[in-house]
Structure 1
Amino acid sequence: MVTVVGAGVSGLTTAIVLAESGVPTRVLAAEPPQETTSVAAGALWGPSFQQPYDKTLEWTARSLLDFQDLAAEPGTGVRISDVLTVGGGDLPDELPPQVALIPGLRRATPDELPAGYDSGSWGWMPVVDMPTYLDYLTRRLAAAGTRVEQQRVEDLEHAGERVVNCTGVGARELARDDTVRPVFGQHVILDNPGLTHAFMELGRDGEWTSFMAHPTRVVCGGVRIQDRWDRTPDDDITDRILERCRALEPRLADAKVQGVVTGLRPERPAVRVETEQRNQVHVVHNYGHGGTGVSLSWGCAREAARLVVGG
C-alpha cells in the first residue's frame, strides 16, 4: 500500500497514476480537494523556468501531452484555448526550449495587442477550470478504487511504509524543509460575458493582469505576496484586479462577481521530486512547484510514481 499525502492537483494526479497502474493506494489529506490551493488556480498550462531545468522541461512536456488528451474528453474541465501573452518582450528567433513547447506559437500583430503593450505572442495552451477538473480527478481516482480520506498527517514516518508527500506549503513542517515559502495569491471570479481566450501579462513581480476564460466564469488576477500565510481575501487587491482586468477587456465591465478565491503557492528554490529514506519508511517527495503546479502535475506525478515503484 502506498499512502499519498495531500489532495491538491499534485496529490490527486500522483494517486491516479499509481492506482491506475495497479498499485494499492490511499490518499490522506487535511483538506478535501475543493478546499486546497489548487482550486484557486487560474489555471493555465505553460512553460516552467524552475530548477532543475532539464527535469522541469521534461515534466512540462509530459503534462502537455496529458492535458491535450484530457481536452478531448467531456467533463474534465480542460480545453485548448487561444492565449495572448504580453510583457515578456518580443519572441527571439531562437526560442528557449521551454517556450518552444507552446503549440501554435506566433507573434501577435500590432492590432491584436491591447493599449500599452508593444509586443506579445499567441499560443494554443490547455486552460483548466479547476473546480471541474478537481471533481474529475476525484471521480477518476474513485473509479480506480481509491477515495480521499480527510485526515491530517502529523509525521510522514507514521503514514505508511511507502509514502508520497504532496503537501505543498505543508511540506515546510512535514518534510522539515525550511526552503519552502508560501506565496499568497488571489483571484476574482466573474461571470463569463462571452470570452473564449486567455490573457497573461509577464514581467511584473508583485501584481499583474491576467484572465482565464472558462465556460461559465472568468478567473481574473493576479498577485503574489511572499511569506504571507493568511489566506483571507484582501478587498483592496480585489478592487485593483477588477480595475486592471475591466480596463483591459471592456466586456468584463458589467460582469457579475461570483466570488474571490485565495491560496498559498508552495515556492522553493527547486521543485522537489526525489526519494528520502526515513528509518524504515520510503518517502517520495513531490512538492515545491510554486505557481506551476498544474503545468508540471502529470510529469511530476509520473516521476513520483516511478520512484515509488522503483524504490
Structure 2
Amino acid sequence: MKPDALVVGAGVIGLTSAVRLLEHGWRVRLWSADDPRRLTSAVAAALWYPYRIAPAERVHRWARATYERYLHLAGDPSTGVRLASATELWRTTPSELWADPLFADVPRHPAPSRPPYTGALRLRLPVAETPRHLPWLWRRFYALGGRFERRWVAHLEEALAAAELVVLAAGLGAGALVGDATLVPVRGQVVRVANPGLEEVWLDLDPPEPGAVTYVVPRRDDVVLGGTAEEGRADTTADLAQTAAIRARCAALEPRLAAAPMLGVEVGLRPVRPAVRLEAEDHGGTRLVHNYGHGGAGWTVAWGSADEVVALALR
C-alpha cells in the first residue's frame, strides 16, 4: 500500500493529479480553500490549445499526453469531452506553426481567410465541456476513494505535516505559500451566450487590441465567447465594456452570435509564470511536488503534468 498523498488545489491541475495518484494506488485527500465550482478551471472554455505556457519542450510532452487522453475520453459521451473542428486565424502568418511539433502525424489543413486575416489553419481540437466534464472528473475522484475537504492552507507546513506526499497545485495561491514572486495573474473574462446552432470553434489570439483575445467555443448548451488576457489585473468583477467588446469581436467572426441571448459573464485569473513549476523536493520525511503556473493552458496539459507528478512521487 502506497502512503497517503495530499493535493492542495482543486482546479483541473490538482484534480487530475489527484485522480492519477488514485489510479496508481495512493490514498488521496484534496484540499481547496474555495468552492471548486467557482475556480478558474470552471470558468475556462477548456479548449485544448497551448496558450501562455512554457517551457516548450515539456509543454509539448504534457500537451500531447493530454490530447491522447482526451481522444480516449471523447469516445464516451458521459465524459463531456468532444472533438471540434477549429479554425485559427492570423493577421501575420507565423514562421512556425505551434501545431508542428505536436501533430506531425495528425492532418491539419490551410483554411480560407478573409480580411483582415492573411492566413488560417483548420484542425480538430478537444473541448472539455466543463459543466459536464468537471462533474465526471469528480465522480471519478470519489469512485477511486478520494476524499475532499474545504480547507484554507495558511502555511505550507500545515500541508507537509499532513501526508508523506504533498502536491502543491493551488494555482495563484501557490505563490504566497512558497514565496514565488514570478507567479502573476492574467485576468480572463468570458461571455456565455445561447448556442444558435454553432459547432465550429474560431480563434484569433493576436488581435490588435491590447489585452484582448478572441475565441468562439460552442458547447452543447451554450457558446463561450472570449476574451481578455490582462497581465497583473487581479479583480474578478465583470467589466461591462469588455463584455460588449467581446461580443462585437466574436460576432465579426460568426454573425449568428450577434443576436444570441446572453447567459452570463465569468472572470478567472490564469496563473502565469515564466515557466511551469513541476519539480519535487524533500522536506524531512515528506516529498513535495510543485505543480503550478500553467497559465492559460491548464486544460491543455493537465493529464500530462499529472503523469509527471506520479513519476516524481515514485522517484
TM bucket (normalised to shorter chain) is over 0.9
Letter in 1 for 2:232: D
Letter in 2 for 1:211: V
Structure 1: how far apart are the matches of 2:68 and 2:136?
18
Structure 2: how far apart are the matches of 1:262 and 1:102?
36
Task: Find 1:189's aligned residue among 157, 169, 192.
Answer: 192
How far the C-alpha of 1:270 sits from its partner, in A, is: 0.4
Task: Find 2:227's aligned residue among 218, 222, 228.
Answer: 222
**What secondary structure, in the 3-state scheme, does the structure 2 residue paired with 1:288 have?**
strand
Q: CA-to-partner distance for each residue in 1:20-55, whole Å, 9 max, x for gaps? A: 111111100011321111011112112467433221
Structure 2: how far apart are the matches of 1:187 and 1:75?
25
1:62 equivalent in alignment to 2:65: yes
1:158 equivalent in alignment to 2:161: no
Cα separation, partners in 2 of 1:227 and 1:142, compared to 1, 3 Å: same
Q: Normalising to structure 2: TM-score of the pair?
A: 0.92
Structure 2: how far apart are the matches of 1:275 and 1:8?
20
Q: CA-to-partner distance for each residue in 1:85-125, whole Å, 9 max, x for gaps? A: 0126447688764453683311003xxx3442221000011
Structure 1: how far apart are the matches of 2:98 and 2:234?
37
Cα separation, partners in 2 of 1:196 and 1:294, compared to 1, 3 Å: same
Is the 8 Å Cα contact of residues 191 and 243 (structure 2) preserved in structure 1? yes
Structure 1: 5+ residue stretches without partners: none
Q: What residue is the counterpart of 1:130 in the other structure?
A: 130
Equivalent pairs counted in the alignment come to 307
Task: Find 2:275's aligned residue among 270, 279, 291.
Answer: 270
Superposed, 1:137-216 pairs within 5 Å as 137-159=137-159, 160=162, 161-204=164-207, 206-216=211-221
Is the 8 Å Cα contact of residues 40 and 270 (structure 2) preserved in structure 1? yes
Letter in 2 for 1:120: A
Structure 2: how far apart are the matches of 1:45 and 1:226?
21
RMSD value, Cα: 1.9
Q: What residue is the counterpart of 1:3 in the other structure?
A: 6
Cα separation, partners in 2 of 1:176 and 1:280, compared to 1, 3 Å: farther
Cα separation, partners in 2 of 1:94 and 1:283, compared to 1, 3 Å: closer
Structure 2: how far apart are the matches of 1:156 and 1:132?
32
1:34 equivalent in alignment to 2:37: yes
Structure 2: how far apart are the matches of 1:253 and 1:208?
18
Q: CA-to-partner distance for each residue in 1:278-302, whole Å, 9 max, x for gaps? A: 3443110111010011111000011
1:292 equivalent in alignment to 2:297: yes
Letter in 2 for 1:214: R
Q: CA-to-partner distance for each residue in 1:110-164, whole Å, 9 max, x for gaps? A: xxx3442221000011012122211111011011011321111122222123100
**What secondary structure, in the 3-state scheme, does the structure 2 residue paired with 1:116 have?**
coil
Q: Which moved more, 1:139-148 or 1:150-159?
A: 150-159
Is the 8 Å Cα contact of residues 47 and 99 (structure 1) preserved in structure 2? no
Letter in 2 for 1:130: T
1:283 equivalent in alignment to 2:279: no
Structure 2: 5+ residue stretches without partners: none
Superposed, 1:229-244 pairs within 5 Å as 229-244=234-249
